[in-house]
Amino acid sequence: MSLMPGAMVTGGSGPSADWSRDECQCELVGPQTAGTDAARQSARLAKFHVPEVVFGPGSLTELGHCALRLGGRRPFLVTDPGLIEAGWVDEAVAHLRRVGLRPVVWHEVTPNPKDHEIEAGFGQYAESGCDVIVGVGGGSVIDAAKGVAILSSNGGRILDYEGVDRVVQPIPPTVMVPSTSGTGADVSQFAIVTDTTEHVKVTIVSRTLVPEISVIDPRLLITMPDWLNAATGLDALTHAIEAFVSRAHNPLTDIHALHAVKLITGNLVRTQVHPKDFGARLAMAQAALEAGMAFTNAILGATHAMSHQVGGLLDAPHGVVNGVLLPHVIRFNAQVWPERFVALGEAAGLPVAGVPPYEVAMRLAELVRALADDVGVPKGLASLGVAEADVPVLSRTTLKDACMATNPRGADVHDVEVLFREAL
């Protein structure tokens, strides 16, 4: 199955010699450059960093060979009790052992992985003499596995690495096996960790965190509970939309973001109503992959910056918070750059011919809210436990989040407070 929804047309052998230096420079694209000629925009420098991907039903059987190719002898397999109960860890361990590896399993990970959990995991890793790190699970498991990898070669405490490019030493090879259809952690340069002292989530961004290999077997998605299926599906949709309107988007991220939107809006509800509909599961697995490849290279925006704060405060499901916040952020961003939402609306199945761009954006916000309703996501943050008194602190910490840097519209603390209050 092709992971590209269409072919990309490229030019000849490269920029002609008479092009000016300025024309070839990489730039952040935002409202100020929205009208620039399409051909010139396509000539911008674009970086696109993704793992090797093994995709398709039964691909978990390749796990042992993947770890072996990376030099593994004693893999450290990070997972959680739910994956053990579902039987996927036994299968993964069997595949590792079949090629002569001696895996060690560590499963003390909770949703929204905590700083102390990751540090305990590193202690286990160091004591066991392991090498390659394997994550089998959802975003929390994969982020925890990345955290263990960071500490194994960089030392210190995991919170020391908050921000961009703070991980300076290469980490051990990693193989990730996602069990949900949405977080994109298996292909991303992000790790999200809960600071249990400050009750906030911190974002760690580093190219070193992009796994060597992602093994995506849609069979694992069938054992997700409904709430997790809904949450991760909306997380993937948020990844795709925020990546497409990001100031750092490029043609390589755009094509994946748009196709992910199409797949998610066409299949997420089907996976809720018919959990064993394998066609829908396959589509959502691909959507999560493509949305992940888009956002790890284009970064995200205000929805994620805000959602991280709510998750840190309340230990709330990340994707559910995204589902509540995303329509509000779409409306906010569309006030300065509505044109960017037209292609997104079309990908989601909305009529766009002759419709003003701002109206398309408003209809897209309505469609996202309707989709959230269909999969059982609450209408407001208050139902998740957010109170009016929390808004000032949440807003201040939002502005410190790395994801705000690429939001298409600038925001100050007052803007973010308004968004939080609208979403209550």
What region, left, alpha or beta, does residue 378 occupy, with left being phi > 0 and alpha being psi -120 to 50 degrees? beta
Residues 157, 246: one domain?
A: no
Cα distances (Å, whole numbers) of residue 19 to 14, 37, 276, 423: 11, 15, 54, 48
CB crowding 118-141: b at 16 or more within 10 Å, else e:
bbbbbebbeeeebbbbbbbbbbbb
Q: Is residue 29 part of a domain?
A: no
CATH number, domain of 116, equals: 3.40.50.1970
Q: What is the pLDDT of residue 8?
A: 31
Let me know: does 341 contact 254? Beta carbons within 8 Å. Answer: no
191, 310: one domain: no
Pair 169, 276 in one domain: no
Supply 300's token pair.
Answer: 């995200």
Residues 6+ apart with CB under 8 A from 364: 241, 330, 341, 344, 345, 348, 350
Residues 262 and 405 in one domain: yes
- pTM reported for the whole predicted model: 0.89
> Measuring CA to CA, how many Å separate 233 from each of 248, 309, 359, 390?
23, 20, 25, 27
Q: Is residue 366 part of a domain?
A: yes
Instruction: Specify whether the CB–CB gap between 208 and 49 falls below 8 A.
Output: no
CATH number at residue 374: 1.20.1090.10
Identify the pLDDT of residue 41. 53
H/E element, 349: none
Task: Report the relative pairing of strands 174-178 and 213-216 from DSSP bridges.
Answer: parallel
The answer to whether 261 and 241 are in contact (CB under 8 A) is: yes
Boundary of a domain, candidates 198, 220, 242: 220
From 194, 220, 246, give the residue that closes a domain: 220
pLDDT at 110: 95
Q: Helix (H) and strand (E) counts for the chain?
A: 16, 9
pLDDT in tens, the chain (424 residues): 333 333 332 233 332 223 332 333 333 444 444 445 455 555 568 889 999 999 999 999 999 999 999 999 999 999 999 999 999 999 999 999 999 999 999 999 999 999 999 999 999 999 999 999 999 999 999 999 999 999 999 999 999 999 999 999 999 999 999 999 999 999 999 999 999 999 999 999 999 999 999 999 999 999 999 999 999 999 999 999 999 999 999 999 999 999 999 999 999 999 999 999 999 999 999 999 999 999 999 999 999 999 999 999 999 999 999 999 999 999 999 999 999 999 999 999 999 999 999 999 999 999 999 999 999 999 999 999 999 999 999 999 999 999 999 999 999 999 999 999 999 9
Residue 275 within a domain: yes
127 domain-assigned: yes
13 belongs to a structural domain? no
Residues 301 and 405 in one domain: yes
Angle, vertex CA 114, rays to CA 87 and CA 206, nearest 5 = 95
Per the structure, the count of domains in the chain is 2
Q: Count of CB atoms within 10 A of residue 4's CB?
A: 10
Residue 296 placed within a domain:
yes
44 lies in some domain: no
Instruction: Give the C-alpha separation, 65 to 238, whole Å.
Output: 33
209 lies in the same domain as 68: yes
Q: Crossing angle, helix 302-314 and helix 391-398, to 10 degrees?
A: 130
Same structural domain for residues 165 and 114?
yes
Are 278 and 401 in the same domain? yes
Q: Are residues 216 and 247 in the same domain?
A: no
Q: Which domain holds residue 77?
A: 52-220
Residue 258 shares a structural domain with residue 364 = yes
Give CA separation, 252 vs 21, 44, 403, in Å.
Answer: 22, 11, 19
Domain boundary among 195, 220, 245: 220
With CA atoms as reference, report the closest residue to 176 among 149, 205, 204, 158. Answer: 149
- Same-domain status, 387 and 314: yes
Q: Determine the Cα–Cα distance for residues 267 and 284; give it in Å rounded to an integer.
A: 7
Does residue 284 belong to any structural domain of this protein? Answer: yes
Q: Do 243 and 318 fall within a single domain?
A: yes
Q: Any idea of the CA torsion for 344, 349, 351, 352, to the nearest 10 degrees?
A: 20
